[in-house]
Chains A and B, each alone.
Chain A
Amino acid sequence: MATSGNLIEVRHVTKRFGKNKNIVALNDCSLSIKKGEVVVIVGPSGSGKSTMLRTLNLLEIPTEGEVVFEGVNIADKNVDINKHRQKMGMVFQHFNLFPHMTVMQNLTLAPVKVKGMDEKAAEEMGLRLLDKVGLKDRASAYPIQLSGGQKQRIAIVRALCMEPDVMLFDEPTSALDPEMVGEVLEVMRDLAKEGMTMVVVTHEMGFAREVGSRVIFMDAGKILEDKAPSDFFSNPENPRLKEFLSKVL
Protein backbone atom coordinates (compact mmCIF):
# COMPACT_ATOMS: atom_id res chain seq x y z
CA MET A 1 0.00 0.00 0.00
CA ALA A 2 2.47 2.62 1.18
CA THR A 3 4.51 2.58 -1.98
CA SER A 4 4.56 6.35 -2.23
CA GLY A 5 6.85 6.66 0.79
CA ASN A 6 4.48 9.11 2.38
CA LEU A 7 3.95 8.78 6.12
CA ILE A 8 0.68 10.70 5.96
CA GLU A 9 -1.47 11.34 2.96
CA VAL A 10 -4.53 13.55 3.12
CA ARG A 11 -6.79 12.99 0.13
CA HIS A 12 -9.54 15.44 -0.76
CA VAL A 13 -10.57 16.08 2.82
CA THR A 14 -13.56 18.30 3.44
CA LYS A 15 -14.83 19.19 6.90
CA ARG A 16 -18.18 20.81 7.47
CA PHE A 17 -19.55 21.98 10.78
CA GLY A 18 -22.86 23.26 11.99
CA LYS A 19 -26.43 22.12 12.12
CA ASN A 20 -26.93 22.01 8.38
CA LYS A 21 -23.26 21.25 7.71
CA ASN A 22 -23.11 24.65 6.07
CA ILE A 23 -19.90 25.91 7.65
CA VAL A 24 -16.96 24.69 5.61
CA ALA A 25 -13.76 24.48 7.66
CA LEU A 26 -11.76 22.45 5.16
CA ASN A 27 -12.50 22.56 1.47
CA ASP A 28 -11.10 19.65 -0.54
CA CYS A 29 -7.61 19.64 0.98
CA SER A 30 -4.90 17.25 -0.14
CA LEU A 31 -1.48 17.01 1.39
CA SER A 32 1.28 14.46 1.77
CA ILE A 33 3.97 14.30 4.40
CA LYS A 34 7.13 12.25 4.06
CA LYS A 35 9.03 10.66 6.89
CA GLY A 36 11.44 13.12 8.48
CA GLU A 37 9.78 16.21 7.04
CA VAL A 38 8.91 19.23 9.13
CA VAL A 39 5.77 20.70 7.64
CA VAL A 40 4.77 24.09 8.98
CA ILE A 41 1.21 25.33 8.42
CA VAL A 42 0.57 29.05 8.60
CA GLY A 43 -2.39 31.24 7.83
CA PRO A 44 -4.80 33.77 9.32
CA SER A 45 -7.04 32.67 12.17
CA GLY A 46 -10.10 30.79 11.02
CA SER A 47 -8.27 29.57 7.94
CA GLY A 48 -8.70 25.92 8.93
CA LYS A 49 -5.09 25.18 9.82
CA SER A 50 -5.88 23.81 13.29
CA THR A 51 -8.78 21.78 11.87
CA MET A 52 -6.38 20.42 9.26
CA LEU A 53 -3.93 19.33 11.96
CA ARG A 54 -6.67 17.80 14.10
CA THR A 55 -7.98 15.74 11.19
CA LEU A 56 -4.55 14.09 10.96
CA ASN A 57 -5.21 12.14 14.18
CA LEU A 58 -8.97 12.18 13.77
CA LEU A 59 -9.71 14.56 16.64
CA GLU A 60 -11.82 16.06 13.87
CA ILE A 61 -13.54 13.48 11.73
CA PRO A 62 -13.50 14.53 8.08
CA THR A 63 -16.90 14.85 6.43
CA GLU A 64 -15.41 13.59 3.18
CA GLY A 65 -12.05 12.28 2.05
CA GLU A 66 -9.32 10.02 3.35
CA VAL A 67 -6.49 10.36 5.83
CA VAL A 68 -3.94 7.67 5.10
CA PHE A 69 -1.39 7.08 7.85
CA GLU A 70 1.27 4.42 7.32
CA GLY A 71 -0.79 2.90 4.54
CA VAL A 72 -4.10 2.76 6.42
CA ASN A 73 -7.08 5.04 5.85
CA ILE A 74 -7.70 6.02 9.46
CA ALA A 75 -10.80 8.03 8.54
CA ASP A 76 -12.47 4.68 7.93
CA LYS A 77 -14.98 3.97 10.70
CA ASN A 78 -13.87 0.34 11.00
CA VAL A 79 -10.31 1.27 11.90
CA ASP A 80 -9.26 1.15 15.56
CA ILE A 81 -8.19 4.78 15.82
CA ASN A 82 -6.69 4.31 19.30
CA LYS A 83 -4.00 2.08 17.82
CA HIS A 84 -2.94 4.68 15.28
CA ARG A 85 -3.11 7.60 17.69
CA GLN A 86 -0.43 5.90 19.78
CA LYS A 87 1.98 6.65 16.96
CA MET A 88 0.91 10.27 16.52
CA GLY A 89 1.96 12.56 19.34
CA MET A 90 0.06 15.78 19.77
CA VAL A 91 0.93 19.01 21.55
CA PHE A 92 -1.79 21.55 22.28
CA GLN A 93 -1.87 25.32 22.61
CA HIS A 94 -3.10 25.07 26.20
CA PHE A 95 -0.78 22.18 27.16
CA ASN A 96 -3.64 20.08 28.55
CA LEU A 97 -1.47 18.43 31.16
CA PHE A 98 -3.47 16.34 33.61
CA PRO A 99 -3.63 18.60 36.69
CA HIS A 100 -4.38 15.81 39.18
CA MET A 101 -1.18 13.95 38.32
CA THR A 102 2.49 14.65 38.88
CA VAL A 103 4.71 15.29 35.88
CA MET A 104 5.95 11.70 36.01
CA GLN A 105 2.39 10.33 36.19
CA ASN A 106 1.49 12.49 33.20
CA LEU A 107 4.36 10.91 31.27
CA THR A 108 3.80 7.29 32.22
CA LEU A 109 -0.01 7.07 32.04
CA ALA A 110 -0.28 6.25 28.34
CA PRO A 111 2.83 4.04 28.02
CA VAL A 112 1.65 1.93 30.97
CA LYS A 113 -2.11 1.83 30.33
CA VAL A 114 -2.12 1.84 26.55
CA LYS A 115 1.07 0.03 25.63
CA GLY A 116 1.20 -2.16 28.73
CA MET A 117 4.74 -0.99 29.40
CA ASP A 118 6.33 -1.88 32.71
CA GLU A 119 5.96 1.00 35.17
CA LYS A 120 9.67 1.09 36.03
CA ALA A 121 10.71 1.10 32.38
CA ALA A 122 8.22 3.89 31.64
CA GLU A 123 9.62 5.98 34.48
CA GLU A 124 13.16 5.46 33.29
CA MET A 125 12.23 6.57 29.80
CA GLY A 126 10.34 9.52 31.28
CA LEU A 127 13.36 10.62 33.28
CA ARG A 128 15.67 10.27 30.29
CA LEU A 129 13.39 12.43 28.12
CA LEU A 130 12.83 14.95 30.93
CA ASP A 131 16.59 15.28 31.21
CA LYS A 132 16.79 16.10 27.52
CA VAL A 133 14.46 19.08 27.95
CA GLY A 134 16.19 20.13 31.17
CA LEU A 135 13.33 19.30 33.54
CA LYS A 136 14.57 16.16 35.27
CA ASP A 137 14.25 17.84 38.66
CA ARG A 138 10.51 18.54 38.16
CA ALA A 139 9.41 14.91 37.86
CA SER A 140 7.43 14.95 41.10
CA ALA A 141 5.94 18.44 40.63
CA TYR A 142 2.30 19.05 39.76
CA PRO A 143 1.45 21.03 36.61
CA ILE A 144 0.18 23.97 38.69
CA GLN A 145 3.71 24.42 40.06
CA LEU A 146 5.23 24.87 36.59
CA SER A 147 5.64 27.88 34.30
CA GLY A 148 3.94 27.87 30.89
CA GLY A 149 7.17 27.07 29.09
CA GLN A 150 7.87 24.20 31.45
CA LYS A 151 4.33 22.88 31.00
CA GLN A 152 4.67 22.86 27.25
CA ARG A 153 8.05 21.11 27.37
CA ILE A 154 6.49 18.47 29.63
CA ALA A 155 3.56 18.14 27.21
CA ILE A 156 6.05 17.49 24.39
CA VAL A 157 7.83 14.88 26.51
CA ARG A 158 4.47 13.28 27.37
CA ALA A 159 3.77 12.78 23.67
CA LEU A 160 7.33 11.53 23.04
CA CYS A 161 6.96 8.88 25.73
CA MET A 162 4.67 6.99 23.35
CA GLU A 163 7.57 6.88 20.85
CA PRO A 164 5.44 8.32 18.05
CA ASP A 165 6.26 8.28 14.34
CA VAL A 166 5.01 11.84 13.90
CA MET A 167 4.46 14.81 16.21
CA LEU A 168 1.59 17.25 15.67
CA PHE A 169 1.89 20.72 17.17
CA ASP A 170 -1.19 22.94 17.45
CA GLU A 171 0.05 26.49 18.05
CA PRO A 172 2.41 25.28 20.79
CA THR A 173 3.74 28.74 21.67
CA SER A 174 0.61 30.87 21.28
CA ALA A 175 -0.43 30.69 24.94
CA LEU A 176 3.06 31.42 26.29
CA ASP A 177 4.58 34.56 27.71
CA PRO A 178 7.06 35.91 25.14
CA GLU A 179 10.13 35.06 27.20
CA MET A 180 9.10 31.40 27.31
CA VAL A 181 8.58 30.92 23.58
CA GLY A 182 12.29 30.37 23.00
CA GLU A 183 12.70 27.41 25.32
CA VAL A 184 9.81 25.55 23.66
CA LEU A 185 10.99 26.28 20.11
CA GLU A 186 14.45 25.09 21.17
CA VAL A 187 13.04 21.69 22.13
CA MET A 188 11.15 21.50 18.85
CA ARG A 189 14.27 22.42 16.90
CA ASP A 190 16.23 19.63 18.59
CA LEU A 191 13.44 17.21 17.81
CA ALA A 192 13.55 18.17 14.13
CA LYS A 193 17.31 17.70 14.08
CA GLU A 194 16.87 14.16 15.35
CA GLY A 195 14.76 13.45 12.28
CA MET A 196 11.31 13.46 13.86
CA THR A 197 8.49 13.95 11.38
CA MET A 198 6.60 17.04 12.50
CA VAL A 199 3.53 18.98 11.48
CA VAL A 200 3.43 22.37 13.13
CA VAL A 201 0.67 24.96 13.11
CA THR A 202 2.25 28.19 14.27
CA HIS A 203 2.55 31.95 13.93
CA GLU A 204 6.32 31.77 14.47
CA MET A 205 7.56 32.71 11.00
CA GLY A 206 11.18 32.51 12.15
CA PHE A 207 10.68 28.88 13.12
CA ALA A 208 8.95 28.13 9.81
CA ARG A 209 11.82 29.60 7.83
CA GLU A 210 14.59 28.02 9.88
CA VAL A 211 13.30 24.57 10.74
CA GLY A 212 10.57 23.83 8.20
CA SER A 213 11.25 21.60 5.23
CA ARG A 214 8.00 22.86 3.71
CA VAL A 215 5.68 25.69 4.55
CA ILE A 216 1.98 25.54 3.77
CA PHE A 217 -0.31 28.54 3.59
CA MET A 218 -4.01 28.05 4.24
CA ASP A 219 -6.89 30.45 3.90
CA ALA A 220 -10.66 29.90 3.98
CA GLY A 221 -10.28 26.13 4.32
CA LYS A 222 -8.01 25.74 1.31
CA ILE A 223 -4.31 25.01 0.89
CA LEU A 224 -3.13 27.89 -1.26
CA GLU A 225 0.62 27.43 -1.24
CA ASP A 226 2.98 24.56 -0.40
CA LYS A 227 6.69 25.28 -0.84
CA ALA A 228 10.17 25.07 0.60
CA PRO A 229 10.59 27.89 3.12
CA SER A 230 13.15 29.87 1.10
CA ASP A 231 10.74 30.03 -1.83
CA PHE A 232 7.73 30.51 0.37
CA PHE A 233 9.08 33.68 1.95
CA SER A 234 11.01 35.16 -0.99
CA ASN A 235 8.73 34.21 -3.89
CA PRO A 236 5.15 34.07 -2.65
CA GLU A 237 2.79 33.63 -5.61
CA ASN A 238 -0.69 33.69 -4.18
CA PRO A 239 -1.98 37.24 -3.62
CA ARG A 240 -3.56 36.24 -0.28
CA LEU A 241 -0.18 34.92 0.88
CA LYS A 242 1.56 38.11 -0.26
CA GLU A 243 -0.90 40.14 1.75
CA PHE A 244 -0.54 37.82 4.78
CA LEU A 245 3.26 37.97 4.70
CA SER A 246 3.28 41.73 4.37
CA LYS A 247 1.33 41.88 7.62
CA VAL A 248 3.23 39.33 9.70
CA LEU A 249 6.83 39.87 8.59
Chain B
Amino acid sequence: MSVLWKNMTNFSFLPKYLSYFKNGTICTLVIAVLSVFAAVLPALMLALMRLSKNKVLKNLSGAYIALFRSTPVLVQLYIVYFGPFAVINLPSYKLFGFIDVSMLIPGIVALALNSSAYVAEIIRGGILAVDQGQTEAARSLGLTQAQTMRYVVLPQAVKNIIPTLANELVTMVKESSVIGYLGCQDLMWGTRTTVGATFIPLAPYIFAAAIYFAINYPAGKAIECLERRMRRGDVR
Protein backbone atom coordinates (compact mmCIF):
# COMPACT_ATOMS: atom_id res chain seq x y z
CA MET B 1 0.00 0.00 0.00
CA SER B 2 2.72 2.41 0.94
CA VAL B 3 4.59 1.58 -2.30
CA LEU B 4 1.52 2.51 -4.31
CA TRP B 5 1.20 5.77 -2.43
CA LYS B 6 4.87 6.49 -3.01
CA ASN B 7 4.57 5.81 -6.73
CA MET B 8 1.48 7.97 -7.00
CA THR B 9 3.04 10.94 -5.30
CA ASN B 10 6.56 10.80 -6.67
CA PHE B 11 6.59 14.16 -8.42
CA SER B 12 10.37 14.50 -8.37
CA PHE B 13 10.29 14.60 -12.21
CA LEU B 14 8.51 17.93 -12.22
CA PRO B 15 11.36 20.45 -11.99
CA LYS B 16 13.15 18.88 -14.95
CA TYR B 17 10.23 17.77 -17.11
CA LEU B 18 7.51 20.35 -16.44
CA SER B 19 8.15 21.97 -19.84
CA TYR B 20 7.10 18.68 -21.53
CA PHE B 21 3.75 18.95 -19.83
CA LYS B 22 3.39 22.65 -20.52
CA ASN B 23 4.22 22.34 -24.23
CA GLY B 24 2.21 19.14 -24.46
CA THR B 25 -0.87 20.85 -23.05
CA ILE B 26 -0.55 23.68 -25.56
CA CYS B 27 -0.12 21.17 -28.36
CA THR B 28 -3.18 19.18 -27.25
CA LEU B 29 -5.35 22.31 -27.07
CA VAL B 30 -4.19 23.53 -30.48
CA ILE B 31 -4.97 20.15 -32.05
CA ALA B 32 -8.38 19.81 -30.38
CA VAL B 33 -9.55 23.32 -31.29
CA LEU B 34 -8.26 23.21 -34.88
CA SER B 35 -9.65 19.71 -35.49
CA VAL B 36 -13.16 20.61 -34.36
CA PHE B 37 -13.12 23.88 -36.31
CA ALA B 38 -11.86 22.10 -39.39
CA ALA B 39 -14.64 19.55 -38.97
CA VAL B 40 -17.52 22.05 -38.96
CA LEU B 41 -17.77 22.85 -42.67
CA PRO B 42 -17.44 19.27 -43.96
CA ALA B 43 -19.87 18.23 -41.23
CA LEU B 44 -22.41 20.84 -42.36
CA MET B 45 -22.10 19.50 -45.88
CA LEU B 46 -22.53 15.91 -44.69
CA ALA B 47 -25.56 16.89 -42.61
CA LEU B 48 -27.24 18.68 -45.53
CA MET B 49 -26.49 15.71 -47.79
CA ARG B 50 -27.98 13.39 -45.19
CA LEU B 51 -31.16 15.49 -45.08
CA SER B 52 -31.40 15.85 -48.84
CA LYS B 53 -34.02 14.05 -50.89
CA ASN B 54 -31.35 12.95 -53.38
CA LYS B 55 -30.73 9.29 -52.60
CA VAL B 56 -27.14 9.27 -53.88
CA LEU B 57 -26.07 12.22 -51.72
CA LYS B 58 -27.95 10.83 -48.77
CA ASN B 59 -26.35 7.39 -48.96
CA LEU B 60 -22.90 8.80 -49.66
CA SER B 61 -23.06 10.85 -46.48
CA GLY B 62 -24.55 7.92 -44.57
CA ALA B 63 -21.70 5.66 -45.68
CA TYR B 64 -19.08 8.21 -44.65
CA ILE B 65 -20.63 8.65 -41.23
CA ALA B 66 -20.97 4.89 -40.72
CA LEU B 67 -17.40 4.25 -41.79
CA PHE B 68 -15.82 6.85 -39.54
CA ARG B 69 -17.95 6.02 -36.55
CA SER B 70 -17.33 2.30 -36.79
CA THR B 71 -13.53 2.28 -36.95
CA PRO B 72 -11.04 3.38 -34.27
CA VAL B 73 -9.64 6.85 -34.64
CA LEU B 74 -6.12 5.45 -34.22
CA VAL B 75 -6.56 3.31 -37.33
CA GLN B 76 -7.88 6.30 -39.23
CA LEU B 77 -4.89 8.30 -38.06
CA TYR B 78 -2.41 5.74 -39.36
CA ILE B 79 -4.23 5.36 -42.67
CA VAL B 80 -4.22 9.12 -43.22
CA TYR B 81 -0.60 9.47 -42.16
CA PHE B 82 0.84 6.59 -44.15
CA GLY B 83 -1.65 7.00 -47.00
CA PRO B 84 -2.13 10.45 -48.50
CA PHE B 85 0.49 12.13 -46.34
CA ALA B 86 3.19 9.67 -47.37
CA VAL B 87 3.17 11.35 -50.78
CA ILE B 88 2.55 14.94 -49.63
CA ASN B 89 5.72 16.75 -48.67
CA LEU B 90 5.11 18.99 -45.69
CA PRO B 91 7.70 21.55 -44.50
CA SER B 92 9.33 20.68 -41.20
CA TYR B 93 8.34 24.00 -39.67
CA LYS B 94 7.88 24.09 -35.93
CA LEU B 95 4.84 25.96 -34.64
CA PHE B 96 5.66 27.87 -31.39
CA GLY B 97 9.11 26.30 -31.74
CA PHE B 98 8.02 22.84 -30.61
CA ILE B 99 5.00 21.57 -32.58
CA ASP B 100 6.20 19.83 -35.74
CA VAL B 101 3.83 20.81 -38.56
CA SER B 102 4.63 17.71 -40.62
CA MET B 103 2.95 15.62 -37.91
CA LEU B 104 0.44 18.20 -36.73
CA ILE B 105 -1.28 18.60 -40.08
CA PRO B 106 -1.87 14.88 -40.80
CA GLY B 107 -3.05 14.56 -37.21
CA ILE B 108 -5.52 17.40 -37.56
CA VAL B 109 -6.76 16.09 -40.91
CA ALA B 110 -7.39 12.62 -39.48
CA LEU B 111 -9.09 13.92 -36.34
CA ALA B 112 -11.17 16.40 -38.37
CA LEU B 113 -12.30 13.65 -40.77
CA ASN B 114 -13.28 11.56 -37.78
CA SER B 115 -14.92 14.41 -35.93
CA SER B 116 -16.89 15.58 -38.98
CA ALA B 117 -18.83 12.30 -38.88
CA TYR B 118 -19.92 13.02 -35.33
CA VAL B 119 -20.44 16.75 -35.85
CA ALA B 120 -22.58 15.97 -38.93
CA GLU B 121 -24.98 14.08 -36.69
CA ILE B 122 -24.96 16.96 -34.20
CA ILE B 123 -25.82 19.44 -36.95
CA ARG B 124 -28.46 17.15 -38.43
CA GLY B 125 -30.10 16.85 -35.02
CA GLY B 126 -29.95 20.61 -34.56
CA ILE B 127 -31.63 21.19 -37.91
CA LEU B 128 -34.35 18.60 -37.28
CA ALA B 129 -35.11 20.19 -33.92
CA VAL B 130 -36.21 23.44 -35.60
CA ASP B 131 -40.00 23.50 -35.77
CA GLN B 132 -41.41 22.35 -39.10
CA GLY B 133 -43.72 25.37 -39.09
CA GLN B 134 -40.71 27.63 -39.62
CA THR B 135 -39.93 25.90 -42.90
CA GLU B 136 -43.55 25.99 -43.96
CA ALA B 137 -43.83 29.70 -43.21
CA ALA B 138 -40.67 30.46 -45.18
CA ARG B 139 -41.69 28.30 -48.13
CA SER B 140 -45.19 29.81 -48.17
CA LEU B 141 -43.55 33.21 -48.67
CA GLY B 142 -41.85 31.91 -51.80
CA LEU B 143 -38.37 31.31 -50.37
CA THR B 144 -36.55 28.43 -52.02
CA GLN B 145 -35.43 25.43 -50.01
CA ALA B 146 -31.86 26.77 -49.92
CA GLN B 147 -32.96 30.25 -48.82
CA THR B 148 -35.16 28.72 -46.14
CA MET B 149 -32.21 26.73 -44.83
CA ARG B 150 -29.87 29.71 -44.88
CA TYR B 151 -32.05 32.49 -43.50
CA VAL B 152 -34.56 30.66 -41.33
CA VAL B 153 -33.56 27.15 -40.26
CA LEU B 154 -29.77 27.28 -39.81
CA PRO B 155 -29.69 30.46 -37.68
CA GLN B 156 -32.10 28.73 -35.30
CA ALA B 157 -30.33 25.37 -35.49
CA VAL B 158 -27.07 27.03 -34.38
CA LYS B 159 -28.67 27.51 -30.98
CA ASN B 160 -29.16 23.76 -30.66
CA ILE B 161 -25.78 22.95 -32.17
CA ILE B 162 -23.35 25.19 -30.24
CA PRO B 163 -23.57 23.47 -26.83
CA THR B 164 -23.23 19.97 -28.31
CA LEU B 165 -20.39 21.16 -30.49
CA ALA B 166 -18.62 22.45 -27.38
CA ASN B 167 -19.03 18.96 -25.93
CA GLU B 168 -17.35 17.57 -29.01
CA LEU B 169 -14.43 19.88 -28.24
CA VAL B 170 -14.12 18.35 -24.79
CA THR B 171 -14.18 14.88 -26.33
CA MET B 172 -11.51 15.96 -28.79
CA VAL B 173 -9.18 17.18 -26.04
CA LYS B 174 -9.21 13.59 -24.77
CA GLU B 175 -9.32 11.76 -28.13
CA SER B 176 -6.48 13.78 -29.60
CA SER B 177 -4.08 11.88 -27.33
CA VAL B 178 -3.73 9.36 -30.17
CA ILE B 179 -1.70 11.91 -32.11
CA GLY B 180 1.27 11.19 -29.88
CA TYR B 181 1.67 7.91 -31.79
CA LEU B 182 2.85 9.95 -34.78
CA GLY B 183 5.48 11.56 -32.59
CA CYS B 184 3.57 14.79 -32.30
CA GLN B 185 4.47 16.20 -28.91
CA ASP B 186 1.10 16.48 -27.25
CA LEU B 187 0.39 16.03 -23.55
CA MET B 188 0.35 12.21 -23.67
CA TRP B 189 3.57 12.11 -25.67
CA GLY B 190 5.26 14.34 -23.07
CA THR B 191 3.95 12.12 -20.32
CA ARG B 192 5.16 8.89 -21.90
CA THR B 193 8.55 10.44 -22.60
CA THR B 194 8.86 11.54 -18.98
CA VAL B 195 8.01 8.04 -17.79
CA GLY B 196 10.62 6.53 -20.12
CA ALA B 197 13.34 8.95 -19.13
CA THR B 198 12.85 8.93 -15.38
CA PHE B 199 11.59 5.36 -14.73
CA ILE B 200 8.92 6.89 -12.54
CA PRO B 201 5.96 4.75 -13.66
CA LEU B 202 2.81 6.22 -12.20
CA ALA B 203 2.98 9.82 -11.05
CA PRO B 204 3.46 11.39 -14.51
CA TYR B 205 0.19 9.77 -15.63
CA ILE B 206 -1.55 11.03 -12.51
CA PHE B 207 -0.22 14.47 -13.29
CA ALA B 208 -1.42 14.24 -16.92
CA ALA B 209 -4.86 13.07 -15.78
CA ALA B 210 -5.02 16.09 -13.48
CA ILE B 211 -4.26 18.42 -16.37
CA TYR B 212 -6.90 16.83 -18.64
CA PHE B 213 -9.39 17.08 -15.80
CA ALA B 214 -8.49 20.68 -15.08
CA ILE B 215 -9.27 21.56 -18.69
CA ASN B 216 -12.34 19.45 -19.34
CA TYR B 217 -14.28 19.66 -16.11
CA PRO B 218 -14.56 23.47 -16.05
CA ALA B 219 -15.20 23.43 -19.78
CA GLY B 220 -18.06 20.97 -19.28
CA LYS B 221 -19.52 23.14 -16.55
CA ALA B 222 -19.26 26.23 -18.74
CA ILE B 223 -21.11 24.39 -21.52
CA GLU B 224 -23.93 23.43 -19.17
CA CYS B 225 -24.23 27.08 -18.22
CA LEU B 226 -24.25 28.13 -21.87
CA GLU B 227 -26.90 25.53 -22.66
CA ARG B 228 -29.19 26.83 -19.94
CA ARG B 229 -28.80 30.41 -21.09
CA MET B 230 -29.54 29.52 -24.69
CA ARG B 231 -32.61 27.55 -23.76
CA ARG B 232 -34.09 30.46 -21.82
CA GLY B 233 -34.97 32.52 -24.90
CA ASP B 234 -36.42 29.54 -26.68
CA VAL B 235 -40.12 30.30 -27.11
CA ARG B 236 -41.74 30.92 -30.44
Q: Which residues of A contact B (CB under 8 A)?
A: 57, 59, 82-83, 85-86, 88-90, 92, 94-100, 109-110, 113-115, 143-144, 155, 158-159, 162, 168
Nearest CB of chain B from residue A227's CB, rounded to whole Å: 29
Contact status A96-B139, CB under 8 Å: no
Closest to B236 in A: A99
Are the CB atoms of B142 and A85 closer together than 8 Å? Answer: yes
The CA of A215 and the CA of B13, in the complex, are separated in Å by 88
Q: A109-B151, A143-B236 are in contact. Are A162 and B141 (CB under 8 A)?
A: yes
Question: Judging by beta carbons under 8 Å apart, are B236 and A114 in contact?
Answer: no
Chain A residues with Cβ below 8 Å from B235 are 99, 144
Give the segment of B61-69, B105-113, B129-137 that binds chain A.
B129-137
A95/B236 contact (C-beta < 8 A), A59-B136, A100-B155 known: yes
Least Cβ–Cβ distance between B147 and chain A, in angstroms: 6
List B residues at the A interface (Cβ < 8 Å).
131, 133-134, 136-144, 147, 151-152, 155-156, 233, 235-236
Tell me the bound Cα distance from A59 to B138 in angstroms.
11
Is A96 within 8 A of B133, CB to CB?
Answer: yes
Given A97-B236, A162-B142, A113:B136 Cβ within 8 A: no
| Main secondary structure on B side of the interface with A | helix
Q: Is the CB of A114 within 8 A of B134?
A: no
Chain B residues within an 8 Å CB radius of A98: 134, 137-138, 152, 156
Take A92-B137, A94-B133 as given contacts and tell me if A82 and B142 are in contact as well, using a CB distance cutoff of 8 Å.
Answer: yes
Listed by A's residue number, 14 A-B pairs whose Cβ atoms lie within 8 Å are A59-B136, A82-B142, A82-B144, A83-B142, A85-B139, A85-B142, A90-B136, A95-B236, A99-B236, A109-B152, A114-B141, A114-B147, A115-B142, A162-B141
Q: How far is the CA of A85 from the CA of B136 in the complex (A)?
A: 11
> Does B141 contact A158, Cβ atoms closer than 8 Å?
yes
Whole-angstrom distance from the CB of B228 to the nearest CB of chain A? 17
Excluding A96-B137, A99-B156, 12 further A-B contacts by CB distance (< 8 Å) are A59-B139, A82-B144, A85-B141, A90-B140, A96-B131, A96-B236, A100-B156, A109-B152, A114-B142, A155-B137, A158-B141, A159-B140
